[in-house]
Amino acid sequence: MLCIEPARLSDADDIHRLVTFWADRGDMLHRPIGEIFEAIRDFKVARLGGEVVGCGSLHIMGSDLAEVRSLAVSESVQGKGVGAGIVAACVDDARAFGLERVFALTYRPGFFEKVGFRLANVMEFPQKVWNECVRCPFFTNCKEVAVVMDLADGADLSVPGAG
């Protein structure tokens, strides 16, 4: 049975492995293991039979905004609601914190649109662009697409079969 729960320190290597797998393919940005340890409290993991098969994190950017980051799902369980479940858990956390919006920068905007996000202009998130993106090696040639969910709209991210 699939279980989505907060990550533990012992999950850092599995999270790093998942992120590195997709980053090596050019589907996301690399995350150093040290950065994963520093942000471990932001991460959710999906376990199937005790094995970590997915991960994602909610990084708070300010009093009203957070970013879904490092969403990665094992190839063996793609299309089975794992990613949607992780995003839903991150959005639940954002609501619990009283945030107004959750965004992501992604190479797969269609996935996020299916789970309730809409396309956005990255400049809607200046704290991301000018604090983090500006340091990225792809800053002048970024191919990621911004997506956002407005939580104040009462958007429902419940996904059938994603739990």
Amino acid at 65: L
Token output for 161: 């079969």
Which pLDDT score is estimated for 144? Answer: 72
The domains found in the chain, sorted by start residue, are 2-153 (3.40.630.30)
Which pLDDT score is estimated for 39? Answer: 96
Which pLDDT score is estimated for 15? Answer: 98
Which pLDDT score is estimated for 146? Answer: 86
Please state, in angstroms and as integers, the Cα–Cα distance from residue 59 to each residue in 24, 47, 113, following that order: 22, 21, 20
Which pLDDT score is estimated for 121? Answer: 79
Phi, psi of 130 (to 5 degrees): -90, -10
Q: Going from the first residue of the chain to its last (163 residues), give the mean pLDDT of each consecutive group of 10, the final group possibly shorter.
A: 95 97 88 95 96 96 90 94 96 95 89 92 62 51 79 56 41
Whether 146 contacts 120, CB under 8 Å: yes
Cα distance between residue 92 and residue 66, in whole Å: 12
Which pLDDT score is estimated for 150? Answer: 92
Q: In what order do the strands lie in the sheet with 2-6?
A: 2-6, 43-48, 51-60, 65-73, 101-106, 145-150, 118-120
Exposure string over 17-43, b if 16+ CB within 10 A, otherwise e: ebbbebbeeeebbebeeeebeebbebb
CA dihedral 160, 148, 73, 36 (to 10 degrees): -130
Which pLDDT score is estimated for 140? Answer: 55
Cα distance between residue 115 and residue 11, in whole Å: 25
Which pLDDT score is estimated for 133? Answer: 46
Which pLDDT score is estimated for 163? Answer: 40
